[in-house]
Each structure stands twice: as C-alpha cells, then as structure tokens.
Amino acid sequence: MRTSALAIVLIVLSVLVLGERTVGGPLFGWGAGLGFATLCLVGLKTSTIREWLLLAAALVLSMLLLNAENGVKVFTEAVDLAAFFAAFILLLTALKIAAERSNSVLTVGRYLLRQPASGRFIATAAGGHLLGVFLNFGAISLMSPLIQNAAKREDGTTDTDLERRQLSALLRGFAWILLWAPTTLAQAVLLTLFTEIDLGKIIVLGIATSVIMITVGLFYDRAEWRGRTSVQFSPPPFPNTALLRLGVVCGTLIAATALLQITWGFSTALALMFVAPTVTLIWFIAQCPPETAMTQQLATFWPALKDNAPGLARSAIALGLSGFIGRALADVLPMDTLTAQLDLAGIPGWLFLASLPVLITLGGQIALSPIILVVFIGQVVQTIPSLPADPTHIVFALSAGWAISMFASPNATATLLISATTNIPPTHLTWKWNLRYGILCYAILVVIFAVIEAV
C-alpha cells in the first residue's frame, strides 16, 4: 500500500511540474510545490539519514526565509526549483524500469565486461559513459553487479584486482557525461541557472574533454597496474542485434527531444521530461514475450513502477531538497553585500574557473551534495557585478567540478550507488582508488581552462 501511494505521488508530481512548465497558472504552480511537499512526507518513510538531514536543513532555511524581507518570493522560487529537479531526475531515472528488464542492455553489458585485458578499460569506461547518457545512474546500478559477477573465479572467490580496475573504469567513464549530456541533472541544473550560454560549445567542449579524460584514465590504469598479470576472458560474439536495439532507443530519445525543442521551443531538460517516460513505456511494452499478450505486458508496468518507487523517491527527495537548499542559502547569506565588495576584474579568468571544481570537490568531502554547491555558486555568480570569465566557461567549470566529485568524493551519488551494490566502502572507491586520478584530471582541466579563456 505504501509503495502504491508513493508511486501515485511520483506520477502526480511529474504531471504538475510538466503542467507548470508548459500551461502555467496558479493551479499547476502551487500544485507542483504541494506535490513536492507531499513526496517528502510520504517518501521519508523509506528514506535514509541523508534525506532526513536535508529536510532538516531545508526547514531551518524555510523559517529564516519566511521571516526575511521578500523571503516569501524566494521561498516560492526555491520550492519551484526543488519540484522541477525532483520531477526531472525521477522521469529520467525511470528509464531504468525498462533498461533493467532489457536483454539487449544485459547482453551489451556482458560483452563490454568480458573483453581481453588490453581493451577492457576502454570497453567498461566507454560503456558506462554511453549507457549513462540515457540510463543516467541506472547505468551504475546495472553494470556494478555485472562487474562483480565477471570478477568471480571458478572456485567462487573474487579477483579483487579485476574488480577494482573495472569499478574504477566504470566510475571514470560514467562521471564525464556530466560535462555535456543533456540527460543529466548537472546540465538541467546549470541550464536552468545560466540561460545566456552557448549550448553547442558546451557539448563540443564537454565531449572532447570526456574523450581526453577517459584516455588519461586508460593510461593511468596501465601505469598503475603495470607488471601485473591480468585475467583473460574469451570475448562473447559481437552483439549486433542488441547494439542496434539500444541504438534505436538512444536515437529515439535524442530525435524526439530535438523535435520538441524545434516545434514547441522547449528547453532540453523540459523536452526530455516529456520524452523519457514515453520512451520508457514503449521500450517496456516492446519487451513483451511472444507468448504474452500486449495487455498483460502493459499490466506489469505498474508493479514494476511500485518496486522502483522507493529508489526513485529517494533520489527525487535528495536532489529536490538539495536544489532548495542551494537556492535558499544564496538569499539567506548576505551575498549581495559580500559580492559587491569583490573586485574580480584583476583575477585571470582561468584562475577563477580553476577555483570552482575545488570548491565543489571539497564540499563533497563533508557531505555537501554537488547540487547544493552548484546551485549556490550559480546564484552567487549571478550577483557578481563583473564576471572574470565567460558564462559558458563557468558552466563548463561547474560541471567539471561535479564530474570530479563523482569519483573523488565518498558522498557522491554514483559512489554511494556502487558501494550499496558491491559493499565496498565509499572511501575505497574514491580516496584509495581514484583520488590521484582526480588530481591528475584537475591539473589537465586547469590547462583546458587557460586555453579556452585565452582563445
């Protein structure tokens, strides 16, 4: 009964947010805020300590806002932002309902993980990156158990070296989708905060940097494990049909999103919020076994949604509350006074950009979600009289900091998901296995910042 109520709340919240962003009006506007509040109340029964702490912080900030001048307006804006972020992540993450049941996804995942040692890192990193584009964190949940299974020896013991290399490759590949993929929350957040940017430049710069960082990860992996013997697998046949099916799903997602942008003028995030659940439902129905009636297959979607409702709710609550906190903090703290005194005109643009990933990554070490810091920094940046760097480059730097935190912060969502699946401590996945790689990536990013600011 509890999961049914939770699933209904998720659906209602999504409809209200989509209505508020398209039709508008007080009914949808107030409804979206009330829908998010209801989600928090109903969903907290299945939540972790993280969501409880975020809610406590949000309630304290709410009281401060409502007692401040013009606080009601900021409170309303923060709630609207929270509802939007919550609906965005749950509608896109819902793709995993179909993906987890797809034989094509399973076949491609196994093919990538059973490659010879020479190509294993690239296969896992690139696979995590590409699957992450349209499965989001579902790619992490899908590939982590596959990696653990692939690392099992015949006697049932685990090859811990292989497990470490493959999980690190997955993290290093997945994280960089935040630089450019419009299906990620990072891009939805940043494009909501910064509207006057060159989106084409972001995508080109993000993809190019992702390729560089994954390549660096490959050479770092080989240097780290040089001289050690790697287990060899006999790769399965190339999954032509499975790849074609996944290509159709991904292509449909991209094409339909672009069509909505062109015909209706929707933002990328809003278009995806309409397209993703539609693709999810069609993909789910398309998996109907030959002996099963289409109506029977469709009838199983509701139980599948109920099974996923607690996980979807936790993500929606955490990210929605994080967005609220970031927006509220920017108003509660006297940022106008502080930024008015800042004279950043003499600071090199590349140095300003280089400071942003440091702030986000350090915040992650003390359990501050990247979304809180990104929303907060985004609001603060917009109050600075004269920016020392191009806004497009600022968006790129913020997304880069978010990406680094994915494998350098033990509190990042991707790290927590892998840890929950594999029972490996988050500090092992980050500080012990990937911190040095993160430092290397940061050094390369500083060079990239210097180059793009100089051009």
Residue 218 included in any domain: yes
Residue 429 confidence (pLDDT) above 80: yes
Residue with tokens 């992540």: 89
pLDDT value at residue 385: 75
Residue 349 included in any domain: yes
Segment 152-164, tens digit of pLDDT: 777 778 888 888 9
138-147, 243-252, 423-432, 433-442: which is most confident: 433-442
Q: How far apart are CA 317 and CA 311, in angstroms?
A: 10
Segment 33-74, tens digit of pLDDT: 999 999 999 998 888 888 899 999 999 999 999 998 888 999
Contact 115, 127 (CB under 8 A): no
Residue 450 confidence (pLDDT) above 90: yes
Contact 280, 96 (CB under 8 A): no
Residue with tokens 């107030």: 30
Range(s) of the domain holding residue 326: 1-227+238-454
Q: How far apart are CA 219 and CA 172, in angstroms?
A: 12
Region of residue 13 (left: phi > 0; alpha: psi -120 to 50; beta: else) = alpha
* The pair of three-digit structure tokens given for residue 437, joined into one six-digit string: 């790689």
Residue 190 sits at the vertex; the CA angle it makes with 125 and 131, to the nearest 5 degrees, is 25
Segment 183-231, tens digit of pLDDT: 788 888 898 888 888 989 999 999 999 999 999 999 999 999 887 766 6
Q: Which H helix or E strand runs over 60? A: helix 49-66
Residue type, 6: L
Q: Which H helix or E strand runs over 431? A: none
Query: Average pLDDT for residues 407-424, to the nearest whole number?
Result: 82
Residue 1 confidence (pLDDT) above 80: no
Residue 233 included in any domain: no
Residue with tokens 């988050």: 426
Residue type, 318: A
pLDDT value at residue 343: 67
Residue 232 included in any domain: no
Closest C-alpha among 298, 267, 269 to residue 281: 298
Residue 396 included in any domain: yes
Residue 83 confidence (pLDDT) above 70: yes
Residue type, 384: I
* H helical segments located in 178-300: 185-193, 199-224, 240-264, 268-286, 294-299
Q: Cβ neighbours of residue 140 under 8 Å, at least 6 residues apart?
A: 128, 132, 170, 174, 414, 417, 418, 421
Q: How far apart are CA 263 and CA 257, in angstroms?
A: 10
Contact 5, 311 (CB under 8 A): no
Residue 340 confidence (pLDDT) above 90: no
Q: Cβ neighbours of residue 301 under 8 Å, at least 6 residues apart?
A: 97, 281, 284, 285
Report how many domains make up the chain: 1
Residue 382 confidence (pLDDT) above 90: no
